[in-house]
Structure 1
Amino acid sequence: MLSEKSRPLITATLPLVGSRLGTITPNFYSRMLTAHPELLDGLFSRANQNNGEQQKALAGSIAGFASALVANPDIIPEQLLSRIAHKHTALGITEDQYDIVYKYLFEAIAEELADVITAEIADAWTEVYWLMANALIKIEKGLYALQANDKMWMPWTVIEKNPAGTDAMTFVLAPADDTPVTVARPGQFVSVKVALPDGLLQVRQYSLSADVESTTRRVFTTKKDDGGEVSPVLHNNVQVGDVLELSNPYGDVTLDGEGPVVFATAGIGCTPSASALRSLAATGTDREVMVLHAEKNLAAWALRDQMTNDVDAIDGAELQLWLEEPTEGFHKGFMSLAGLDIPANASMYVCGPLPFMKAIRNQAIDAGIPSTKIHYEVFGPDLWLAGAAS
């Protein structure tokens, strides 16, 4: 809990610190990665450093955590921390690395706030940092302990590589050794480590798109980003028979166990919902299921056959499709919940580009779905959180 001594200092300085996090966090990453360049090799995303997304996400999480403590000093914001902890464990973040982050983050804070910072203010923000860090460490230890093994990276052999819609590819992998395999949950993701042409190792998270309960297969589907660093290597260079390093499965946006369910996705954001839909079809669910999806055109839908087959296999399941390029029999343009009969008490799972998710979440709330029952998954740093906290 936030101490009575620190609370008024955090309350008074939060607007200032929040306004300067945009310069503090780049300063921090520059300091840390200069001193520890090994952290960029197989841990931090070079692309997200270059485009600023990682800095924005860190700023948002710090501001969001501090704001939550000011509003409720006796309550740790568990939902915010859970999202971060799952991302951290999928990267293999360790307890000692929080000391490294503290050193360079507070050097950056001291430099950027040199005109106003005092020892008392520094102590208050140190308390906030370690409240957040220690809470994350505790959650992350619990997540690591849930795995079927104590390894961070395991070798998996690519046994299939199948085109999936326009510029997408589905990879099917089998274990390459006898490491015990953790059974995933529908909606979870794995980290994939890839060697780039310049030798740098980079990691990306990909949602499992099918067969999540299997201990003999991992299936994920990726969309090629021609301007990216990792997906072109996966699509162009990785071949059947190659071995990739994968993490255990993580992710807190997973399918709950009862009541109506609505999936609202756009583009490659269909992957986590596809795994949940496949699980529902495989278990012969009697839940009311509504699948809403948006694409540029019909050919672009990466998991079209899988998802339509699974909808057909579920009694009473409903599928609605929106296409930017008009096709007879489908909605034209962007997804809209207007006029849809959303099931009462439905849980909604949303995934796609950030503007899409924001729009659908607002429409869902207007349609009467409680915000607590609307779940979203973000690919990469959670910039929604950053935007909400700024």
Structure 2
Amino acid sequence: MTTSVHRGAPELSPVHADTVRATLPLIGANIDRITGAFYTRLFEHHPALRRDLFNRGNQAQGSQQRALAASIATFAGYLVDPDLPHPTALLARIGHKHASLGITADQYQVVHDNLFAAIVEVLGAEVVTEPVAAAWDAVYWMMADALIDLEKQLYVAAGVEPGAVFRQVTVTGRTDDAAGTAVFTVAATDAGRPLPEFLPGQYISVGVRLADGARQLRQYSLVNAPGDGLLEFAVKRVPAAPGCPAGEVSNHLHDTVFAGAELEITLPFGDLTVDLDTDTPLVLISAGIGSTPMVGVLEHLAARTPDRPVQVLHADAVPGAHPLRDRMRVLTGRLPNASLDLWYAEPTPGAHTGRLDLTEIALAPGAEVYLCGATGFLDTARAQLTAAGIPAARIHVEQFTPTDWQALTCPA
């Protein structure tokens, strides 16, 4: 079943549109304060959400707050200026993430109540008059209703009731590479509920119970081809860094989960997928742990369409830091029309030296380009692709952390 975001609606009433247009600069100037106050209120009133649903690492860094702020501002901007790009990709990205977390329609009311209380707290009741509140209430519910509708479609397509996406699995294998990446293979614990098929580029959420009792969920890319009832996902150990806490769930999986362990995962979701029913050339560009969805795509190609032209481009600090390096090399070697170009900071036989430089590569005409990596890398690669004349519609971006909407777009 195909899921989609309706592009014709919604439309604000002229009165609400005028009010939103007039107050958008003020909301935008204070959006970080508003979202900060929102999350403070939300977790005070619903502490279980921070403990058991929201990513505590992203909260600590502030990236979750920035993502929410950018999403709301982008959606509101489109409502008052339809000449701006339709936020289809924004809604699809959020909807798939929500489905992977088991979000249900009733939770949007909780968000609404705490968000609007935060707006009044930051701007003051003398600013947030009844007409202003009514106009922004309309914005919120238009965005929420679009997401609720999309998430319903995703749950129907998955054959489950809303939110019922969790499955118990048994770890049947684990492999570790020199880059600190572990690949876990899991099978359904209940043979009567087999794990589903999935598309190249999709991910699952993995839930763990940590030492302090918190149940935390994280998304990980699937790196195998479907068909045998197994799922494989790759997890890189995440050490603490300035301004960034250590990866709670990733490090827990590395330290405690081995063959025979039981895990809780979700069904696969993810909107950034590769169409296997076409022979259009592919360009897969990644850095760091961004190699993992690319390996998943290569596994699908090897199993389904091995003759499809594909260029694989990856950048890393050193060969030993390149996640799933050997697997990427083996897979490209199995595809007769595939090429592999690598960039490392250190001189390395068979690789380019320095940062990714697309001027050194002749990209296939008409190719669909997929990017995955950290924000700075994505910005650089996107700029190089634009300079090379690649249309934005053929550039598809995946990013593992929430960030400003502009950084997620090509625009995407």
TM range (shorter): over 0.9
Q: 2:38 aligns with which of 28, 32, 37?
A: 28
**Which runs of structure 2 are paired with 1:92-111 in the superposition (5 Å)?**
92-111=102-121
Which digits, 9 at most, give the CA deviation of each residue in 1:268-293, with x for residues without a partner? 10111111111111124332210000
User: 1:86-141: CA deviations, max 9, x gaps?
Assistant: 01110111100000000000000011111522211111100000000000000000
Matched, 1:14 2:24: yes
- 1:75 Cα deviation (Å)? 9.2
**Counterpart residue number, 2:296:** 275
- Which residue is equivalent to 1:224? 237
Q: Which one of the candidate residues 175, 181, 200 is aligned to 1:186?
A: 200
User: Equivalent residues in 2 for 1:264-303 (5 A)?
Assistant: 264-303=285-324
CA contact (8 A) 2:195 2:230 kept: no
CA distance in structure 2 between the aligned counterparts of 1:244 and 1:214, rounded to whole angstroms = 21
The aligned counterpart of 1:253 is 272
Tell me the equivalent position of 1:89. Answer: 99
Q: What residue is the counterpart of 2:252 in the other structure? A: 233
How far apart, CA to CA, are the structure 2 residues paired with 1:75 and 1:330? 39
Q: Counterparts in 2 of 1:328-339, with a 5 A limit?
A: 328-339=349-360
Unmatched 5+ residue regions in structure 2? 1-10, 240-245
Partner of 2:375: 354
Structure 1 counterpart of 2:270, one-letter code: G
Whether 2:215 is the aligned partner of 1:201: answer yes
* Counterpart secondary structure, 1:182: coil
Unaligned stretches of 5+ in structure 1? none
Question: Cα deviations across residues 155-187 of structure 1 (Å, max 9, x unaligned)?
Answer: 111111111232111111111112242211000
Indicate if the aligned counterparts of 2:397 and 2:408 stay in contact, CA closer than 8 A.
no
**Further displaced range: 90-99 or 323-332:** 323-332
Displacement of 1:365: 1.4
Alpha-carbon contact 2:343-2:355 (below 8 Å) kept:
yes
The change in CA–CA distance for 1:385 and 1:92 in structure 2 (over 3 A counts) is farther
Change (3 A) 1:298 1:132: same
Residue 72 of structure 2 corresponds to residue 59 of structure 1? no
Query: Could you report, residue by residue, the CA deviation over 1:40-59 in whole angstroms, capped at 9, with x for unpaired residues?
Result: 23311111112111111100
User: Residues 74 and 341 (structure 1 numbering): CA distance in 2 closer, same or farther, change over 3 Å?
Assistant: closer
What's the CA shift for 1:78? Answer: 1.9
Q: Tell me, what secondary structure is at the counterpart of 1:197? A: coil
**CA distance in structure 2 between the partners assigned to 1:58 and 1:165 by the alignment:** 36
Deviations 1:351-371 (A, max 9, x none): 011100111011111112110
CA contact under 8 A between 1:69 and 1:76: conserved in structure 2?
Answer: no
**What is the aligned partner in structure 1 of residue 227 from structure 2?**
214
- Alignment-mate amino acid for residue 399 of structure 2: V
Alignment of 1:125-144 (within 5 A): 125-144=136-155
Please give the alpha-carbon distance, in whole angstroms, between the structure 2 residues aligned to 1:74 and 1:95. Answer: 28
TM-score (norm 1): 0.95
Distance (whole Å) between structure 2 residues aligned to residue 215 and residue 55 of structure 1: 39
Measured at CA, do residues 60 and 387 of structure 1 come closer, stay the same or move farther in structure 2, by a change above 3 Å?
Answer: farther
Provide the residue aligned with 2:364 in structure 1. Answer: 343
Cα deviation for residue 329 of structure 1 reads 2.2
RMSD over aligned Cα atoms: 1.8
Instruction: Calculate the TM-score normalised by the size of structure 2.
Output: 0.91
Deviating runs (4+, > 3 A) in structure 1?
A: 73-76, 382-389
Distance in 1 between the 2:158 and 2:338 partners?
Answer: 33
